[in-house]
Amino acid sequence: MRHQYGLVLLFLLLIGCNQLVPQETVNQSSGTQPTRAIEHAMGNADIPVQPERVVVLDDCTLEPVLALGVKPVGAPIRNVHIPGQGNLSQIQDIGTPANLETILALKPDLILGCAYLRDMYNQVAQIAPTVIAPIETSADWQAVFWLVADALGKRNAAEQVMTNYKTRLATLRSQLGERLKSTQVSVIRVYPNHISLYAKDVFIGTILADAGLSRPPSQDQDIPAIDISKERIRDADGDVIFVWTYGSNEQLTESAQIALEKLKIDPLWQQLNAVKQGSVYLVPDYWIGAGPLSANAVIDDLFKYLIEDAVPPL
């Protein structure tokens, strides 16, 4: 009887000790990764402290992940071009929209995406812990970056990235001097059938605002963009105009490029001040990017076109 009573006491003691051990330690000792809670657009998720197999659902989170030095095991990489990243073929393409079977086969321990894909959340969250970043427009890219950094346990690295971003913009402002406030920067995109003026509530709008550059009245608005016809092309004027014609496929890109060539010989376009001054420049699609890698490429262009001033115009 005494022997049985002693066994009961030992059993109760072990249970009590186990309850006092932090959950991370319990998980680690049981052979699984320690976890931590993180708040995101869909609620809360328990994610690995150090995720090792990350899948991203969109380019909204792909660029932040790459900027933090993490190579995801899966992502939508078709027709994706991110500055400084070269060929992304070593990453498994999960398709657009994401293929759930492909994601499942990759055995991720963390899935990241933006709120554009909230409808997929219940499905992918059954595969692995999933963090969805809240986003309304591409102007929210910095908030997305910080959440991704927290999910990956890369807060210190993120601080270094953003410090570099701010330092480079400070240098740009210093070198522009008096021209900073007097130079109105217009940003437009030429489509096959219309033109979009990019305003303040988009990715490029936040970079120009952080740089302290002013915008033409038509673009100095807290909205993403304004679509105009050729007859309103004067609204696109500025001291300098940046243009791109990117399309989601080769046919759209080619059609947009043809539209741009027609625009360049149009008398209304040729009357714009920036055109007369030779201050119109064609820029790549990273001007509608999704993270600090694209942002730094844009800053490179601002130095090249506004400071060095040695690049032939469009």
CATH at 200 = 3.40.50.1980
Please provide the average confidence, as pLDDT, over all residues in the chain.
88
How would DSSP label each residue in 47-97?
EESS--SEEESSHHHHHHHHHTT---SEE--TT---TT----TTSEE-TTT
Rounded CA-CA distance 39/43 in Å is 6
**Number of structural domains the chain divides into:** 2
Give the residue numbers spanning the domain of 116: 21-153
Task: Answer yes or no: is 273 within a domain.
Answer: yes
Shared domain check, 303 and 213: yes
Is 114:144 a contact under the CB 8 Å cutoff? Answer: yes
Q: Could you give phi then psi for residue 67, rounded to 5 degrees?
A: -65, -25
* 123, 207: one domain: no
The residue from 121, 153, 185 where one domain ends is: 153
Q: Which residues contact 90 (CB under 8 A, 6 or more apart)?
A: 71
Q: Output the pTM of the full model.
A: 0.86
35-40 and 92-93 as β-strands: parallel, antiparallel, unpaired? Answer: unpaired
Residue 56 near residue 113, CB atoms below 8 Å: yes
Give the pLDDT confidence score for residue 229 in this predicted structure: 92
Q: Tens of pLDDT along 168-196?
A: 999 999 999 999 989 999 999 999 989 99
pLDDT at 313: 64
Other C-beta atoms lying within 10 Å of the C-beta of residue 307: 13
* Residue 314 banded pLDDT, cuts 50, 70, 90: low
**What radius of gyration, in Å, describes the C-alpha atoms of the chain?**
25
